[in-house]
A and B are shown apart, each in its own frame.
Chain A
Amino acid sequence: MTNNNLNFGYEKKPVPGYFLKMGAILAGIGIILIILSLFVDPVRSSFNSLIMFAFMISIALGSIFLIALEYIAGAVWSVPFRRVLEGIGLIIFVVPIFAIPVLLNIHTLFSWTHPEVIATDSILKNKAPYLNTTFFYVRLVAFFALWFLFYYLFTSNSKKQDATGNQALTKRNIKLAAAFLPVFAITISLTAIDWLMALSPHWFSTIFAVYYFAGSVLAALSIWAIISITLNENGILVKGLKSDHYYSFGALLFAFINFWAYIAFSQFMLIWYANLPEETFWYIARGTGSWMYFSIGMIVVHFIVPYIFLLPQPAKMDPKRVKWAAIWILFAHFYDLYWIVMPTLDKNGLSVSWMDFAYLIFGIGLIFVVFSLWSKNRNLVPIGDPKMKQSMEFEL
């Protein structure tokens, strides 16, 4: 296939300047707040850094997953937006920064890292072959190596295709996607177990990894929709993108909101029904005192509001409404992770502090900074992709 890029009328334009400015300002404010929080309450700050690590990694991993999904499902509608997704996925290289404050405070966060705790605890002793610091670091390094590798392979093939329009590269990426998906399933499961479930090392829930996966895909979809729609509003993506294209953003957000609710409810109901003390304590911690209101709030924030908002078809096809839904859901994902992590610290009840948002502001800012720097010398649309023409004519 010859290179017929210009058929799509794509011209390289820089992303709006406020992406970088806003990102830098947010990241700057975030850094200042983080440093302040380290002086005010280092323990609380370490818990916040853990939330943000989980938040950033869910966006990065979710993005790579969505790239792989497009290839393996042969999706057409998403092709013009895939390059944006690749830009968001780049933060996988930034995520290790967020791991540093967590790893520095690993003994504050995770009780299973203390040998004296394990010595007196038969359950932790039995879990020690898996839950020990050496193996934890081995997993961390190995997983990041795998993610870097797959991200690099996907995006370098995609970039090469811009110049050559070589169809074989798409085929190669499809094979790559087939290899990545099982790797993704295992690594994201173990990540969820290592970083979130291990906060209460006695607790276990076999569905927890799926729960984190549902949240991850939602977070990645949200930020992808936010950036894609903003760029298109400014005419930076290719001309001719219609509501038919946005419908899939809306529909996928809606579908994964339902999937998340289904998984969250399944986890709760099975534990509630079985009523085994080694499982219920996790929900008791979240169902007593002020945490109960926070938990009920999560049903509203993470399910009822986006569900009703996205239920009518016109809402899924209107880019403005999809964007608002995506911003809301991104916040809901943060709410969800806060709900998972913070009861371990605030045992006596919910106590929201300004510190809790320091890392969030920093992280969101960083995403925009990384994205605008990355976009400087790249096409924001995969113009060489063989599915591109089909995608421009995509109709529901």
Chain B
Amino acid sequence: MEEKIIYGVTALFDSPNNLVKAVKSVNEAGYRKYDVHTSYPIHGMPKAMKLKPSKLAYFALAFGLTGTTLAFLFITWTMSIDYKLVIGGKPFFALPAFIPVIFEVTVLLASIGTVLTMLFYFFKFPNNKHPLHDTEYMQKVSGDGFGICIEAKDNNFDEEKIKSFLSNIGGLNVTSIFYDSVELNHKNKVFEPKFIGFLILVFILISGATYFSLNKLIYMPPFTWMHDQNRLDAQESSVMFGDGFGMRPPVDGTVARNQMPYPYSGHPELALNLVNPSAPTKENYELGKKKFDIYCSPCHGYFGKGDGRLNNQFITPPSLQSEKIRNWKDGQIFHVITEGQNSMPSYAKQILPEERWAIVDYVRVIQRAMNAKEEDIK
């Protein structure tokens, strides 16, 4: 191997106090590029080394503020803009309820960001080669030693001078440390295929293990006790009743709330006497048009001409525009809607009485529209 390149000179001290004293003399001697290694933090060391406060705090602040902003924007967007839900009668933008979430995200991002910055930026992870590794010095300071290492980067570096200097201030085992060839050619390894492949492998393993354990190993079916209750659902058959139906018809003579039974069932001649109770309001005509279009127009057509959408597929109904129907009383039309006629079934179940009257009014409207008189134009 060709000429070795020096990394630095190390020395060991037997107690933390002596190390602190040594650091002070190293500082006084004008050396700046040096580091100390101990197996636990020593109080007063940062001051003895004249360390500036770590820059890590600024990263923590930046990540924390990022977390605050992101959480605030995200929760505001989801809760107040994109998917508004009324929760406990609070306003959509309920800042007090957001604050715990914002706080948590701030702490989370600050701590994760700080750890990752420390690893990847300050510790240069995943680079794991360092000249001090696998030396006797590192073994010692990982146990009961207190060491100092003056690096060759220092402007005043002179191997022999530093060796004697360190011995003079009480350093033991003064040794020079040299670079390995690997360490000399070291470059940033974050984008190395090996490292990225490793990350992908870890990702696959962890997500796979999570999926397997949660969805297979300890999978529990979601609880269904609210859905599966000991009662009959609509349309289910029952063994309890003779006819096998689960749903029971109302008792004979039952009258729905707020509904009067139609008094002239089977007596169209009496329906002539019915009086149309509806008022000629805009709302009433609109209701009539709506109901007519839904229930009547499929067969009778939008203008009652008997040309509905089911024309030729079904029995063609008579026109509502005929002379006969135009001369019917309101009560007669009402009766037909209620009871049905010929092929037309009863619509009493689908259409409420007041809606039927509204339809009658609307039928009058389209009749008049198709047979307008001269005076209507004025």
B99 touches A313 (CB 8 A): no
Are B96 and A268 in contact, with the CB atoms below 8 A? yes
A275 contacts B43, CB within 8 Å?
A: no
Do B99 and A265 touch (CB < 8 A)? yes
* Least Cβ–Cβ distance between A311 and chain B, in angstroms: 8
> Looking across the interface, which residue of chain A has its beta carbon closest to that of B46?
A396
In the bound complex, do residue A396 and residue B88 qualify as a contact, i.e. CB atoms below 8 Å apart?
A: no
Contact of B30 with A by CB under 8 A:
no
Closest 8 CB pairs of A and B: A395-B44, A395-B43, A269-B96, A272-B96, A313-B53, A396-B43, A268-B96, A265-B99
**CA A330 to CA B53, docked complex, whole Å:** 29
Closest to B47 in A: A395
Q: How many residues of B contact A (CB 8 A)?
A: 13
Structural contact, B99 and A396, CB atoms closer than 8 A? no
Q: Is B97 an interface residue (CB 8 A)?
A: yes
A interface residues, tally (CB under 8 Å): 11
Q: A313-B57, A396-B43, A396-B46 are in contact. List 4 more A-B contacts (CB 8 A).
A: A269-B100, A272-B96, A273-B88, A395-B44
Given the known interface contacts A275-B89, A313-B53, A314-B53, the answer about A269 and B97 at a Cβ–Cβ threshold of 8 Å is yes
Contact of A396 with B53 at beta-carbon distance under 8 Å, contacts A269-B96, A275-B88 already known:
no
* Distance of A275 Cα from B53 Cα, bound (Å): 47
Of residues 42 to 86 in B, which have CB atoms within 8 Å of A's CB atoms?
Answer: 43-44, 46-47, 53, 57
A266–chain B nearest beta-carbon distance, Å: 9
Report the minimum CB–CB distance from A201 to chain B (whole Å).
26
Residues of B within 8 A of A395 (CB): 43-44, 47
Residues 4-57 of B at the A interface (beta carbon under 8 Å)? 43-44, 46-47, 53, 57
Q: A248-285, CB under 8 A of B: which get 1 and which 0?
A: 00000000000000000100110011010000000000
Chain B nearest Cβ from A57, distance in angstroms: 31
Interface residue from B43, B57, B89, B99 paired with A269 (Cβ < 8 Å) = B99
Q: Which residue of A lies closest to B100 (CB)?
A: A269
List B contacts of A272 (CB < 8 A). Answer: 96
Instruction: Give chain A residues whose Cβ lies under 8 Å from the Cβ of B100.
Output: 269
Instruction: Give chain A nearest CB distance to B103 CB in angstroms.
Output: 9
Residue interface bits A127-151, CB-to-B below 8 A is 1, else 0? 0000000000000000000000000
Q: What's the least CB distance linking B346 to chain A, in Å? A: 51
6 A-B pairs with CB atoms under 8 Å apart are A265-B99, A273-B90, A313-B53, A395-B47, A396-B43, A396-B46
* Interface 1/0 per residue, A113-135 and B, CB below 8 Å: 00000000000000000000000
User: In whole Å, how far is A202's beta carbon from the nearest beta carbon of chain B?
Assistant: 23
In the assembled complex, the Cα of A279 lies from the Cα of B47 at a distance in Å of 52
Chain A hits for B99, CB < 8 A: 265, 269
**Given the complex of chains A and B, what is the CA–CA distance between A314 and B57 in angstroms?**
12
Q: A396 near B44 (CB under 8 angstroms)?
A: yes
Q: Cα distance A314–B51 when bound, in Å?
A: 13
Nearest chain-B residue to A265 (Cβ)? B99
Given A313-B53, A313-B57: A273 in contact with B43 (beta carbons within 8 A): no
Instruction: Give Cα A396–Cα B46 distance, bound, in whole angstroms.
Output: 9
In A188-237, which residues have CB < 8 Å from any B CB? none
A312 vs B52: C-alpha distance in the bound complex, in angstroms?
Answer: 13
- A75 CB to nearest B CB, Å: 15
Min C-beta distance of A81 to chain B, whole Å: 19
Q: Binary interface profile of A, 90-104, with partner B (CB < 8 Å = 1, else 0)?
A: 000000000000000
CA distance A323 to B346 in the complex (A): 91
Question: Which residue of chain B has the shortest Cβ distance to A394 in the bound complex?
Answer: B43
Interchain CB contact under 8 A, B97 and A273: yes
Are B57 and A273 in contact, with the CB atoms below 8 A? no
A355-396: CB near B (< 8 Å → 1, else 0) gives: 000000000000000000000000000000000000000011
